Structure 1
Amino acid sequence: MQTKKLTTLLAIAFLSFSMFSQQGNSISGKVTDQNGKPLSNANVYLKNTNYGTSTNEEGAYSLTNLINGNYVLVVSEMGYKTFTSQQLEVSGAVNLNVRLQEDISALDDVVISGAGKIEYVERNPSSSLRLQQELNKIPQNIQVISADVIEDQQSISMMENITRNVSGATMIEHWGNFARINMRGFRIPPFRNGQNVLSPWGPLAEDMALVERIEVVKGPSAFMLSSGEPGGLYNVVTKKPTGVSHGEVGLMTGSYNTLRATLDLEGKLTDDNKLQYRFVGAGTTQEAHRAFEEQNRYTLAPSVKYLIDDKTSVTAQYTYQYYKTRLIGSAYVFAPSEYASLDRDFTLSDPKLGPAIMKEHYGLVNFEHKLDDNWKVNAQLAYLNYNHSGSSLWLNSQFGVKENGDLIRRIGIWDAEEEKKLGQVFVNGKARTGGISHIILGGLDFGKNEYIADWSQAIDIDTEENPFNIYNPQPLTVAPVFDRSIPLTQRAGGFLSSDYLAYYFQDELGFFNDDLRLTLAGRYTEMRTNSYGSTSSDNVFTPRVAASYSILDKLSAYAMYDQSFLPTQGASEDGNAFDPVTAEDVEGGLKYEFGNGKWNVAAGYFNITKDKILVPGENPNFSVQVDSDITSRGFEFDLRGEVLRGLGVVLNYAFTNVEDKNGNKIVGFSKHITNGWFNYQFQERQLRGFGVSLGYQYLADRSTWAWGADGETDLPDYFRMDGALSWENNRFRVALNLNNILNEYLYSGANYGSYIYWQSEPGRNFRLSLNYKF
């Protein structure tokens, strides 16, 4: 059945390729300097498409096999101003000669690069991040993981080392369905298209086929939210219509019987190009380095955009994600005292356990209207429905793990439903009062989330008389059976809900020809939460003050003060509601663009303090609120872009230390994290199109997330090396990625005193992909 579904998807992909592929359409010409001298190796591409090339020794270029449509040609070369054409209507052969002027300014952004181009740098945030300023001038550390980086590393989902591309970010273990990402010692919430989709056990990790870029914002980030942990957030920007007709089909195979197909089509539905469409689809079947962990995943994401006029547009997107695996939590391994004391592929699972099935429906409607050249309004509504049916594995904690390896596996039901309703309206504008400029952002956010789950049923599948032995595992004789005879809403043992309404206003004031930029902002949030019957009601104002100064044309220094709050449920023994946990962030740093915007560097220091945490009181039935003074401080460095012609680099380092006022370490971080990814595209004509990549990840002094480990872990340092070989032209791309080249036994885990647990990563493995663009 799985093979049949995948075969159908492949058939659709290749049928679409046959329908859309056309011959004979082309744009060609010659690129020269202002004196008529030919320019070789100049970058030539069609904006927002997959078409791209470079000029030869005579300055000639040619883009062939184009689809009928309208295009914008862009030509760039270091030392010259970037040329951007008017819209070109292509229904045959078009000839366009370009003469570049010296004294180049900043390069334009490109979302999808052409063959041989390296686009690791994004100079502006997406519109869903609401900000109207260049990233280099925003007084905060914001890193963007571009489409090229995702493609080069052949990531399949958010569960796979996406964090390596941002300083200090790390994925803290998993249950198999969602990515728990920590930064600066705290879990950061996931956003999708500018809206918070965080849930207690989710959301379902996005398939990378959906993703245009990922924006990682560090610090409390009051312009997006104020309620939550103060480490930051990551915003997944999904693919939507761009107005240009193109398509791409991809196939992938690899270790653990990986088979994957992807499809990305977009174009126009009307001759006037006012009604545009895009369709993204992906299907993956995959096993793991452990037995009994087969995965099947399918994703469908159609979207349309309607241009009402040149100032107004409406975009609608629907996403369906289906994910089926064997048993949630099967990645955990328990042992008496020594990490990695069992084979890397050891499992506590069994073929009789499972499956777990997750389904997600996500809908988004966005309305954008330009009031004039300086002001625009944006409104969007989103709906997310998530359904989870399955079970999860842990061990009987009272029995623990005996020295001889005996333990009792405990399987618990995990059926859950979640519903999110999200909305936002915001206005962006620019104005002047005398010699002071203003970049203004104002609006409101609202949301309602309900999560119900049945965790009430749990079964020990082993007994004290017949335990499971990790050194001599035996197959399970009888699978556990849970009672699902009544609806989930009637048997749910867990109910969590929240609703909020927040108002936000920000003014960035520019002085001295905008070299000095002062940001004044504040957010007022009304939030109500309910967790297992314990409620909280908070009305909180969180201010934000920041400054950025352009020391040189491309060198900026910034400083920021920001706040966040975290709701707390319940009440004290006296019946008084608890105050929300508050956090303050003070940070500052430098940002610099090199090579006319081709690569940049950001470095900064941060200091975050949290207070008022809940601890057990003298009466065990009640908690008390005390000043905690948890402090997270550190230094971060990020470099990304094309540092030399053909050499793309992502390089970062973070020092983080999180501790309480007594100097005790708090779980959830590694003190030292550094990552690197280096991709070289050969520039010699004989090797044009070939590329080689090499990357590493290194974590030292690790303290993972573990509720029972009291911040103390004895994990070894972590070092992983990956690499890739690739070849591409305007149509084809072939890539071979080799992960964990050194075949290290890599894992995360924690010491619970009487036993330890860990999760292992795969050994050396590969992925081979073929993509065709049309």
Structure 2
Amino acid sequence: MGFAQEAPQATAAAANDADIVTLSVFEVSSSAPARYQAAESAAGGRINTSIMDTPTTVTVLTSDFLSDVGGTRVLEAAKYVAGVSEATIPNALDRVIIRGFQTDGRRVDGFHTGGQANYDHGAIERVEVVKGPDAVLHPAGAPGGTINLVTKKPQWTPGGSLKLQVGEYDVNRVEADVTGPINDHFAYRMVAALQDNEGYIDGAFRESTLLTPSLTWKISPQAQLTLRYEYYYFKAANIVGIPTDPSVGTRDPFKVMQGVPHNFNPTFGKDYEFRRTTAHTGTLLFTSAVTDRLSVRLAGRLTEMYTPDSDLRIRLKSPGGSRNPFTGEWEGGVDWVNTSSDPANPNFVATPAAPVSPIIGLTGWQGNFGDRYRDVQNDWSYIVDGTAAKSTTLVGFSYSYFHNTGQGYNRISPDIDITKETRPSGPSIITPSVRDQRTNTSRYQVYLTEQLELFEGRLMLNGGVAHLTFNGMYHDKHEPAAPPPNPVLPGQAFAGEGSKATYNYGLVVKPIRNVSLYYGHTENAVPIGPNDYRRANQGEVPLFSAGTQDEVGIKANFLDGRIIASVAYYEIEQTGYALHNPGNFATPQPPQPLPAIISTRNGSGWEFQLAGSVTEALSVMASFADTKNRNPDGIMLNSSAEDLGALFVRYELNKGRLGGLALAVGVNYQGKRAAGDTAGYTDASTPDNLIPNQPSAYMPARTLVDVTLSYSRKNWSYGLTLANALDKTYYAAADSRDLINVGTPRNLSGTITWKF
């Protein structure tokens, strides 16, 4: 849910000295004990709470850290948080993996938004990462965790900046940010950013425009209202990807198809293969300390969004291998054939696979969709601070509405001979509409949480309950008829509704003041999407995907609070998990997409996180995660690494002629990842001997190093970044075996910033 804006200082510069500002408990102070450490967060339970006092893992990425890391995606900073990694589409959808669970879209100031875009980091003040399912913060989110982006808000001290960034790939942009008071009661902020660049992949690009003015009205020393408008336009290439070499099997070293350049992308151009978002968003945030015990928060959001997209996908004419029915592993160059005519007694024989054809097919999709979001959130906090105990009670409700309309079309393009061509020889054909849909969903939630602090803060107990209700409708004019036992009329509309309660509880024990031992149990319940209303009505899928996490850990701070470190162990279960049906990637494709496979998924792991400043000159962010992310058959899931590590170290000279000179080094490691989702069992399986299909290939582990040299003098700062400094060839992500996204090689960029 929502977060309060960055709070004004205790005495606002533009206000009368007698007007002492009383902060609401929903507001998070901008003060920080160290460059890479924030002492407080509202992400753990919506009330401003010390990170040491939360019974779960919360990591805050400060504005200084975001600036030092640079980049143009939220993930480029979030990847230094334990358990956060690249997902399946690097250049769109804000898609990331947290504790092994993939999540799409973004959460900005507590409101979830989908769309095709990667959000512009120029609007972000700080990033709060909360691990595990959270029914209050993000009831519709993946159980692995939530990344909440806290936007820049008006400040009562005048200031601003201009920033120019240029580079070979992915970074040509300009940003402007100006803020300050208008008078004693009003402050403003204006943030703007433009980006226009090409990528390493042939035809890859990004064009984006961000414009976001905001105004804060200090109604009284105890109450303030912030209004914010955001215009965001984003367009990026839809990358076709490279196929895995057909000779590569489950046990073979990974490589992409021979003869295909790493930057291969048979695009027709910017107007043909793209992901696009045009969004207009208005938000309001009112916070007030009604009394010294009672605080209120009211937040609202309206969004109108247009999200067209168009793509092509590679289809190999011959797979070059097959799955061994006795092991479930893919074997390159082998075609396993059933020579028996008796279904009860199959006889599988290995034969040489057909030669791999250099001809590849291109099929795809084009869609034109529009989205509407309407949200209201209201929270009340009541605090009783007695001599023996402190009680904090939160009660609230939220309402959200989502509406989507649009049409979809199939695209068919001429085949390509990869030994001769990098572009189709003829035009792409657009079929008549195959989808003409209208969907809407309303969600209502009420929640109550309680935190009890005992023994002068040495023991904290908390618990809560949230109840979520949803209803909605899905209608596709092209919905085909279906016969009994589950009859469907042509073009029939389907309704969906349901409700579910979730619970959370935990405790924090402080044997000494700077050490916290904690246990937390958290839950959330995600309603099915409108496209599944039909299947739910017919009993094929559950109404909710429920996430449950149990976590234990220890947190400690050192060096007068400048360093905070944590170690955590967690176990997560997700019911009603929709696993992509691998049959949709068969050759030839099925005439209609096969439905998702519904299962229960489990994840567990250890995480280590450290952030802060060893000295005034030396700042560090470090993390490590050892996880296990598997489907119900124990098979690794697509693009989800189970071993992750990251380190970011920055050293700045503070004295002498070289004062202001800084060197930063970032290192990011990901273990091996499956190249595509795998589900089901081989044809040799029997009820007493199920043989699960294994991933057909694994992308290798990789370690990337980024180096930044910067210099600050008075109001100016300069930076030079060498991304992928060791020029490693690596694979960023895999949507399937036939769509491997190749990572960007060594990339030099420079930044100039003027602060005023």
Q: Counterpart of 1:298?
A: 209
Residue aligned with 1:654, SS: strand
Q: 8 Å contact 1:140–1:558 — kept in the other structure?
A: yes
Contact 2:211/2:232, CA 8 A, preserved across alignment: yes
State which of 542, 554, 559 in structure 1 corresponds to 2:502.
542
Distance apart, 1:429 and its partner CA: 2.5
Range with bigger deviation, 339-348 or 206-215 = 339-348
Matched residue, 1:220: 133
Cα distance in 2 between the residues matched to 1:417 and 1:146: 34
Greater mean deviation of Cα atoms: 655-664 or 372-381: 655-664
Q: Is the 8 A contact 2:317 2:357 kept in 1?
A: no
Percent identity of paired positions between Structure 1 and Structure 2: 18
Distance 1:225 1:179, change over 3 A: closer
Q: In the superposition, relative to structure 1, how do residues 572 and 208 fare at CA in structure 2: closer, same or farther (>3 Å)?
A: closer
**Residue identity opposite 2:360 in structure 1:** L
- Measured in 2, the distance between the counterparts of 1:450 and 1:400 equals 40
Task: Give the drift of 1:672.
Answer: 0.5
More displaced 10-residue stretch of structure 1: 471-480 or 731-740: 471-480
1:370 aligns with 2:289: yes
Which consecutive unaligned segments of at least 5 residues does structure 1 have?
Answer: 1-47, 50-70, 73-83, 91-107, 485-489
Are residue 685 (structure 1) and residue 601 (structure 2) matched?
no
Deviations 1:52-93 (A, max 9, x none): xxxxxxxxxxxxxxxxxxx97xxxxxxxxxxx9x66689xxx
Q: CA deviation at 1:206?
A: 1.5
Q: Does 1:181 align with 2:96?
A: yes
Does the CA-based 8 Å contact 2:116-2:307 persist in structure 1? Answer: no
Partners of 2:461 and 2:31 in 1: how far apart? 33
CA distance in 2, matches of 1:260, 1:574: 50
For residue 152 of structure 1, give the secondary structure of its aligned residue in structure 2.
helix
**Partner of 1:528 in structure 2?**
471
Aligned runs of 1:57-76 on 2, under 5 Å? none
Task: Give yes or no for the alignment of 1:719 onto 2:703.
Answer: yes
Are residues 1:420 and 2:420 paired? no
State the Cα deviation string for residues 451-501 of structure 1 (Å, max 9, x = none): 23322x223211xxxx302332243344336489xxxxx985344432200
Residues 315-354 of structure 1: pairs in structure 2 closer than 5 A: 315-325=226-236, 327-331=237-241, 333=243, 335-337=245-247, 339-340=255-256, 341=258, 342-351=260-269, 354=272
Q: 1:142 aligns with which of 39, 48, 58?
A: 58
SS at match of 1:162: helix
Q: 1:235 to 1:288 in 2, by over 3 A?
A: same
Q: Is the 8 A contact 2:240 2:265 kept in 1?
A: yes
Closer, same or farther in 2 for the Cα pair 1:294/1:573, shift >3 Å? Answer: closer
SS at match of 1:165: coil
Match of 1:654 among 625, 633, 636: 625
Per-residue CA deviations over 1:547-587 (Å, capped at 9, x if unaligned) read: 01112111101101122223343447966873523232111
Change (3 A) 1:431 1:292: same
In the alignment, which residue of structure 2 is the partner of 1:289?
200
Q: What does the per-residue CA deviation read over 1:216-264, in whole Å, with 9 as the maximum and x for residues that have no partner?
A: 1101122313344211111001111021111111111111385321100
Aligned mates of 1:172, 1:364 — CA distance in 2: 29
The residue number in structure 2 matching 1:473 is 421
**How many Å apart are 1:719 and its aligned residue?**
1.0
Partner of 1:67: none
1:349 and 1:286, CA in 2 relative to 1: closer, same or farther beyond 3 A? same
What's the offset of the Cα at 1:209? Answer: 0.9
* Distance (whole Å) between structure 2 residues aligned to residue 152 and residue 352 of structure 1: 32
The aligned runs of 1:195-274 (5 Å cut-off) are: 195-199=110-114, 202=115, 204-256=117-169, 258-270=171-183, 272=184, 274=185
Structure 2 CA distance for aligned equivalents of residues 226 and 178 of structure 1: 19
**Could you tell me which residue of structure 2 aligns to residue 8 of structure 1?**
none
SS at match of 1:686: coil
Alignment of 1:447-466 (within 5 A): 447-455=400-408, 457-462=409-414
Give the TM-score normalised by the residue count of structure 2.
Answer: 0.79
**Are residue 278 (structure 1) and residue 189 (structure 2) matched?**
yes
Q: Which amino acid aligns with 1:473?
A: E
Distance in 2, matches of 1:308 and 1:684, equals 44
SS at match of 2:647: strand
Write the distance in 2 (CA, Å) between the matches of 1:677 and 1:250.
23
Q: Which amino acid aligns with 1:761?
A: G
Q: How far did 1:347 drift? A: 1.9
Match of 2:308 among 389, 406, 409: 389
User: 2:168 & 2:573 partners in 1: Cα distance?
Assistant: 44
> Partner of 2:560: helix, strand, or coil?
helix
Corresponding residue number in structure 1 for 2:389: 436
**Distance in 1, Cα, partners of 2:148 & 2:418:** 41
What is the CA distance between 1:130 and its match in structure 2?
Answer: 1.4
C-alpha separation in 2, matches of 1:241 and 1:372: 25
Over residues 503-553 of structure 1, what are the superposed CA-to-partner deviations in whole Å (9 max), with x where a residue is unaligned?
011110111112100001010000235456554322101011110111211
Residue equivalent to 1:563 = 523
Q: Is 299-308 or 527-536 further displaced after alignment?
A: 527-536
Aligned length: 652
Kept in 2: contact 1:324–1:355 (CA 8 A)? no
- Secondary structure, aligned partner of 2:79: helix
**Which of the numbers 697, 713, 717 marks the counterpart of 1:733?**
717
Which sections of structure 2, spanning at least 5 residues, go unmatched?
1-5, 16-26, 249-254, 321-354, 476-492, 582-591, 681-692
